[in-house]
Amino acid sequence: MKKFDYENSIGFVVYSASKAFQKAFDLELRNKSGITITQSKVIFSLYLHSGLTQRELADKIGVESPTLVPIIDKMEEDGYVERRSDPNDRRIKRIYTTSKTDSLWDSVMECATHLRKISIKDVSEQEIKLALEIVKKITENLIVYLGDSEAIDLKKTKD
C-alpha cells in the first residue's frame, strides 16, 4: 500500500496557502491600516450587504456571533461602523459602515494589491489564471458535496 503524502495533498497545500495569505494580509493591514484581517472582513461584508444583523454578519465572515461582539464594539468605538435599530423591530440592531470606513477602504485595497504582488512573484498570468480556475472548481465540487447554497455565489464569481 502506497503511503499518503499529506504535505503534497491538494487540501494541505490549499490550506497552507490560505493560512499564509491570512497571516501576511493581517500583518499588512495592522502595519498600514491599523485594523485586523477580521475587521477587514467585517468591512468587506458590510460593503456587499449593508445593514446586516450581528448574526448575519458573523455567518458571512465565518465566526461565532459572540466572538464578533468585541470586534464590532471596537470598530464602533473607532468610528468604522455604527449600530442602528431595525425600523421594523427595534430589538434588532443592524450594522452599517461609516464615512470613516470609506477612507480606510483605499488603504485596505493597497494592502491587498501589495500582497498580490508579493505572492505572485515569478508566476505568469497564465499560471495564475489556471490556478484560480482549478481552485474554484475544487471549491465548487466541495460545496456541491456539502449541499451548500453558496455554490450559486461561487458560480457568480467565475463570470
CA distances to 2, 17, 42, 93 from 37, rounded to whole Å, are 40, 16, 9, 23
Which CATH number applies to 7-101: 1.10.150.20, 1.10.3720.10, 3.30.230.30, 1.10.10.10? 1.10.10.10
CB atoms within 10 A of CB 43: 21
Instruction: State the chain's mean pLDDT as an integer.
Output: 89
Rounded to whole angstroms, the maximal C-alpha distance in the chain is 63
Q: Which of 21-25, 78-82, 152-156 has the lowest mean pLDDT?
A: 152-156
Q: Is the pLDDT of residue 154 over 90?
A: no
End-to-end CA distance of the chain: 42
Instruction: Give the CA radius of gyration of the chain.
Output: 18
156 pLDDT band, cuts 50/70/90, is very low
Q: Is the pLDDT of residue 151 over 70?
A: no
Cell numbers 467585517 correspond to what residue? 42
Side chain identity, residue 54:
Q
Q: Where are the domains of the chain?
A: 7-101
The mean per-residue pLDDT over the stretch 68-85 comes to: 95
144 pLDDT band, cuts 50/70/90, is very high
The mean per-residue pLDDT over the stretch 137-153 comes to: 78
* DSSP conformational letter for 9: S
Distance CA 118, CA 53 (A): 36
Provide the residue count of the chain: 159
SS3 call for 83: strand
